[in-house]
Structure 1
């Protein structure tokens, strides 16, 4: 077992999780303390918890606002987000040992790869989108593309045996050594988790504030 196997497989995961949790926790704390600049009393808001959850989930899984306001980006964005959601479900089903994890992982990798590639190309070649795109947005999409490519190329997303490695991390006894092809995927995965709190990709953690505290703040 060499240094890189030990570091990427047994040390970096804990650094990544700690950075992700603490980074998002810090952002959420700042958002909680920040004053609301404006209440959006623009349309009837759902009054019940069920209605609010339905509204929020509809936005998360269909990107409805993007569909209405920037339809060019909607489809590739939806494909990429569905890919990311599928990979999250892949990890859950992998940990419980459900065979469906194989299909979810592969589908998620393909969707994330396709969506990020299309978004990158759209932003690069469509004049109107290129004008409003910043370098960091290209970097974010490239990161997601390379991560999905490494995941698919390594075969990790379709390998149920990968389950033992993740379980060993939860037990604080990392199962090493790992196949060399997995190390590239894992390195990108841990670096991506470290990177998220410092970027706009942390927007998933702000959905509560966007809806409940801003759009529906007056219900309180």
Structure 2
């Protein structure tokens, strides 16, 4: 007995043969399009995240013998801070710390510059000095001129010694007293990572410990 062939099954088979490959191809392209859309969405999201993040590149600034900036290098690519830079920053710190002027605006700037270079115990030491020797009150009666005597010299891998002469003058410019001092400072290098640090302390030279005394030989 022969098997009767259904016209509906024959038509379905013919339709599948003719259009099945088209349908399969369409489904594959849909999958590819979906993957592309997903990749695009991820890429846009990552770009947005990067755009909203503040990325600060640290820099190291080189100075000349007068303490003026002469070169700028990326801190993540730069070599260790040279002794010349450390010496200049230590000398500037002493001048900004101990100078007394009648110009209140200038005095404020000097105090702010000094505070940008001291941290830890050194910050506490300088704060105690200002409490006992308020520069704004002293400036109403006398002026103090600071003269650095030679470049700071290293006494260890982290500590430096510096000498200076303080001359107290009246507002007429007449010298009243002159006193020699020496200080030992401990230095730590910490490259800047924020905009404010780059502006205030671009070399990243910080004094962590500070002790000073009068020199006996005057």
Q: Is the pair's TM-score, using the shorter chain for normalization, greater than 0.5? A: no
Structure (1 or 2) with the greater strand fraction? 2
- Alignment TM class, shorter chain as reference: under 0.3
Q: Which has the larger radius of gyration?
A: 2
Structure with more relative contact order (C-alpha pairs < 8 Å, separation 6 or more): 1
Structure (1 or 2) with the greater helix fraction? 1
Report the TM-score when normalising by structure 2.
Answer: 0.25
